[in-house]
Amino acid sequence: MCVIIYKPAGVKISDAILRSCMIANNHGAGFAFRANNKIVAKKGFFNLRTLKVAIGKYDSCEGVVHFRLRSAGLISGKFCHPFKIDSRYLFHNGHIPKLGTQKTSDTYKLAQILKRLSYNDQIELLEDLELRGDGRFALVGSQGVDLIGEFQAYEGLFFSNLHWLYGKPVKVPKGDDYFMNCPKCHSKAIWNKVMCSQCGHWF
């Protein structure tokens, strides 16, 4: 599934969010931040501590962080996001059927296509793909960040999905309800509710 996090300038991504996103999407992470009139982009993070240290340098900056869950292509730093397109960086949450293979990711191939297009045509293609249901996208450039598709707000950040927040439900043998650990207080909460009965945290 993957997840894209858009971080406005001055908003810090909490350690808990980074941890949850990496647990749910553990095939590599990367980021691109607008810092001092240039773009700083790095990818191939498979260790949470290393990622936290790297991201912590850009708390004051606007940018995007991506956690990958493989749908096509090998699990490697090469296929982590972002992908450079001229002076911009592409992030993708979703899957484009028939574009990727077992060895090459669909987003990697999409980036090669986008490199041949003008900026306006790039945006138009990404919007067409989003409308077709092939995912959500972010483009980070020196002039700003373009988000294509619906992003959901949570703790001052914007996410391409919140699946990472819900965790993996586990069926309890003695009943029909599903339980999970609350992401705030870690007590066991009923899966089919959206508020922890112990601490009142909504999720």
**Domain harbouring 89, CATH code:** 3.60.20.10
How much of the chain, in percent, has pLDDT values that exceed 70?
Answer: 82
**How many domains in the chain?**
2
**Strands 170-171 and 178-181: what pairing?**
antiparallel
Q: Residue 35's pLDDT band (boundaries 50, 70, 90)? A: very high
- Work out the mean pLDDT of the chain and round it to a whole number: 85
- Residue 30 vs residues 33, 119, 134: alpha-carbon distances, Å: 10, 22, 21
Asked whether the whole model's pTM tops 0.85, one would answer no
CA R_g for the chain: 18
Instruction: Clarify whether residues 161 and 177 are in a common domain.
Output: no
Domain extent for 199: 168-203
Question: In this structure, what token pair is assigned to residue 182?
Answer: 């609350």
- Residue 16 vs residues 45, 69, 83, 195: alpha-carbon distances, Å: 17, 18, 26, 18
Confidence at residue 184, expressed as pLDDT on a 0 to 100 scale = 54
Q: pLDDT tens, 152-183? A: 999 999 999 998 887 543 333 344 344 455 55
Confidence at residue 198, expressed as pLDDT on a 0 to 100 scale = 44
Instruction: Clarify whether residues 152 and 176 are in a common domain.
Output: no
**Helix H or strand E encompassing 26:** none
Phi, psi values for residue 158, rounded to 5°? -130, 130
Average pLDDT over residues 29-48: 95
Confidence at residue 173, expressed as pLDDT on a 0 to 100 scale = 37
Instruction: Clarify whether residues 195 and 95 are in a common domain.
Output: no
Q: Residue 71's pLDDT band (boundaries 50, 70, 90)? A: confident
Q: pLDDT tens, 120-131? A: 999 999 999 999
Average pLDDT over residues 69-91: 94
Instruction: Clarify whether residues 156 and 175 are in a common domain.
Output: no
Average pLDDT over residues 86-103: 91
Confidence at residue 185, expressed as pLDDT on a 0 to 100 scale = 55
